[in-house]
Structures are given as structure tokens and as C-alpha cells.
Amino acid sequence: MQADRIRIGRFLSLRSGGARLNTADALTYLYLTLGTVLMFGPVLWLVASSFKTQAGLVKYPPPLLPYQQVQVNVEGYDDPLPLFTVTGDDGSTRELAQVRRVGIEAQMVDPANPDAERVKVNIRQREPVEEVKLAWENYLDPLIELENFDFFTYLKNSVLVTSVATAITLVINSMAAFALSKYRFKGRDAVFVLFISTLMIPITVILVPVFLVITSIGWKNNLWGVIIPGAATPTGIFLLRQYMLTIPDELLDAARIDGASEWHIYWRIILPLARPALAVLAIFSVMWRWNDFLWPLIVLSQNDYFTLQVGLNAFQGELQIQWHYVLAMTVVTLLPITLVFAFLQRFITTGIATTGMK
């Protein structure tokens, strides 16, 4: 016990060179603590709020935890009744269940003694009895049925767009990178420069003409219209090409002598060896596609084709924002990315630090 305390004390005052904590260290940890509160606080607040009932959300100042009024089953009544603490004129208190309310008067019954006469109470004299309880219905209602918010359809569309787009991006980008790094053909360098020069040209700059192309193909309100235009990413080509340049050409020549076809070499040698770079690109692609907003917003105008981001935006833009559902669905939307981050955190951070892209 004593030893533990000393160890914890030493751990907390740990510094390089073994010296004690100084002002700079104190400031460092103060900054980190404030930073943690600021970075995680709003997200945690969102999660906590998403478990509050609609009535609980309008309380101000907002309580930290999700409280709900206690409901009791009273003999002789079909539905559970809300429980209140009633303060009598003499200052005594007791817990009563409310049967109905008429104007400023509430009719109450004693749950322990339901046969006794109903008590009439001024509504100012009663306070709801509350307990901490999670409002799972915020999460379950949208899954079952909610007007104007078809959660499952949006989720399905988002998953479809993210997975198909990522698969296509990985295949065509790696094929192009293979061609650019392992073959000599006329115009190769020109094509590479052309790809790379569009790195800084986002789709925002060419919205109208891309929209025309999509409409001409008949991909308006079609998930292909969201998936295909962004599939040939210059970032992916650059990343994969740089990586494939490090794969020795001798390996390819050896395979050719053994009679392997070029496609075979791509599939059996290049792809397995480029796996680390492919993994980084896959993570980025999943992130880009899952979070994408402006382009899907333009291509998809019908409810049935909305992705989660577009659906969520439409839902929160309604005249009467149903915050209890919006919050719960926001939590569901950030969950997959959070899980990916939790498992692949090291991979993502080193990937970004070394490639400098997002």
C-alpha cells in the first residue's frame, strides 16, 4: 500500500532526467487536461444527451445524466402513473401518483393505498420523482419507423457507397500505379503529371459539368453517381506509385521468365507486396466516403437514395427539430468511424504523419 503510493507519486512527477515536476510540466499537463475536456467533452455530452427523453432534453440548465420520471403501477389503473413528491401545507411530504390533471389541480392517489380517496393537489405543490434511466427508444424508434427518416435505407446506402467505392478505388488506382511505376510507354510521364496536377482541384470547382455528365448517364438519384466520379483519386495513385517504385524490378523479371502473365504479376506479386500502402489508402477512402457530403447532396435528391450524412442533414433541417432522435442518430453515425479509429489508431496516425494527407 505504502509502496504503491510512493510509486504513483513518482509516476505523476515523472520527468526526463528524473527531476521533480516544474512549472513547465505543470503547464503542460494543464494544457493536456483542458484539451482533453474540450476535445472529448462535446462528444461525450452528445452521447449522454442522446439517452435523454424528449421531456428531459428541454430541461434547463441541462442535468448531466439522463433522468426520467418514475412511473408506478397502481392497482385499479391500466397504465402506469407518474410519481410525484407532494408537499403539504404544513411542510410534510409524501409520494403520490398522479391520476389526471385538470387545470392547475392534479388528482393524486397513494400507490400504497390505492383504495383510499383521491387527493386533490395544486400542481405547484408537487415535484416529479426522477431516476437515472436511459431512453433507448431514441435509438429504437428510428430503426422501426419514423416519418421522413428511413434510417436503415440511409445506413444501407452509406455502407454500399463506402465499400463499393473503396474497392473500386483500390483496384483501379493500384492498376494505374503499377503501370506508372513498372512500365515504360509513350506518354507515361505526361499522364502522371496530369493526374498529380489535379490534386489541388477539388470537385467543388467542377460541380456543374460533373453534374451534367452524371445526368446524361442517368445516374442522378443513383448511388453510382456518388461512387464513380471520385474513384480515380490522384492521392491514391501518388501514394501507391511511390510505394511500388520500391519493389525491385528483378522480382517481376524472374516471374516473367517463369512464364507469368502481366496480370498474374500484378495480382500475385505487386498487390501482396503493396499491402501496407493499400491499407493506408483503404482507411482514407473509407473515411472520405463515409463522411462525404456536398457531392451526395447534389446527386441524391430523393429520400430513398440518401446516405446517412445527407439524411441526417435533412432530418435536422426540419422545422421542428426532433433533437432526441437527431442526437441518437448522430451517435450511430459517428460510431463506425470511432470503432475504426479505436482499432487502427496507430496505423492511421503514422499513415497521416508519413504521407501528410487526409
Find the binding residues for another protein in span 140-179 (CB under 8 A). Answer: 171-173, 175-176, 178-179
Give 83 or 308: the residue with its C-beta nearer to another protein: 308
Place of cell 387545470: 103
3-state secondary structure of 132: strand
Please work out the total of residues on this chain that contact another protein, with binding judged by CB under 8 A.
102
Give 99 or 255: the residue with its C-beta nearer to another protein: 255
Q: 315 near 302, Cβ under 8 Å?
A: no
Please state the closest distance from residue 15 (CB atom) to another protein, in A. Answer: 6
Q: Which of 32, 55, 112, 132 touches another protein by CB under 8 A?
A: 32
Place of cell 505504502: 2
Total residues belonging to the chain: 358
d(CA 166, CA 227): 9
Q: Which of positions 191-250 make contact with another protein (CB under 8 A)?
A: 191, 194-195, 198, 200-202, 204-213, 215-216, 228-232, 237
Q: Does 107 bind another protein (CB under 8 A)?
A: no
Q: Which of 1, 2, 61, 104 touches another protein by CB under 8 A?
A: 61
Q: Does 49 bind another protein (CB under 8 A)?
A: yes
Please state the closest distance from residue 13 (CB atom) to another protein, in A. Answer: 10
Please state the closest distance from residue 74 (CB atom) to another protein, in A. Answer: 33
Q: Does 267 bind another protein (CB under 8 A)?
A: yes
Q: 147 near 320, Cβ under 8 Å?
A: no
Q: Does 95 bind another protein (CB under 8 A)?
A: no
Please state the closest distance from residue 28 (CB atom) to another protein, in A. Answer: 5
Q: Do the strands 126-128 and 93-102 form a parallel or antiparallel pair, or are they unpaired?
A: unpaired
Q: Does 313 bind another protein (CB under 8 A)?
A: yes
Give 152 or 183: the residue with its C-beta nearer to another protein: 183
Q: Does 46 bind another protein (CB under 8 A)?
A: yes
Give 61 or 76: the residue with its C-beta nearer to another protein: 61
Q: Which cell goes with 195?
A: 493526374
Give 266 or 305: the residue with its C-beta nearer to another protein: 266
Please state the closest distance from residue 72 (CB atom) to another protein, in A. Answer: 29
Q: Does 183 bind another protein (CB under 8 A)?
A: yes
Q: Does 34 bind another protein (CB under 8 A)?
A: no
Q: Does 26 bind another protein (CB under 8 A)?
A: no
Contacts (Cβ under 8 Å, ≥6 apart) of 241: 177, 180, 181, 192
Please state the closest distance from residue 136 (CB atom) to another protein, in A. Answer: 19
Q: Measured between alpha carbons, how far is residue 266 from residues 174, 234, 246, 252, 320 in Å?
A: 9, 20, 15, 9, 55
Contacts (Cβ under 8 Å, ≥6 apart) of 128: 69, 70, 82, 83, 84, 85
Long-range pairs, 80-84, Cβ under 8 A, ≥24: 81/109, 81/111, 82/128, 83/111, 83/128, 83/129, 84/108, 84/126, 84/127, 84/128, 84/129
d(CA 124, CA 289): 53
Please state the closest distance from residue 261 (CB atom) to another protein, in A. Answer: 5
Give 185 or 248: the residue with its C-beta nearer to another protein: 185
Give 104 or 190: the residue with its C-beta nearer to another protein: 190
Within the chain, residue ranges assigned H as helices are: 2-12, 23-49, 54-57, 137-144, 151-182, 188-197, 207-217, 223-227, 234-245, 249-257, 262-265, 271-273, 275-291, 294-299, 308-316, 323-355
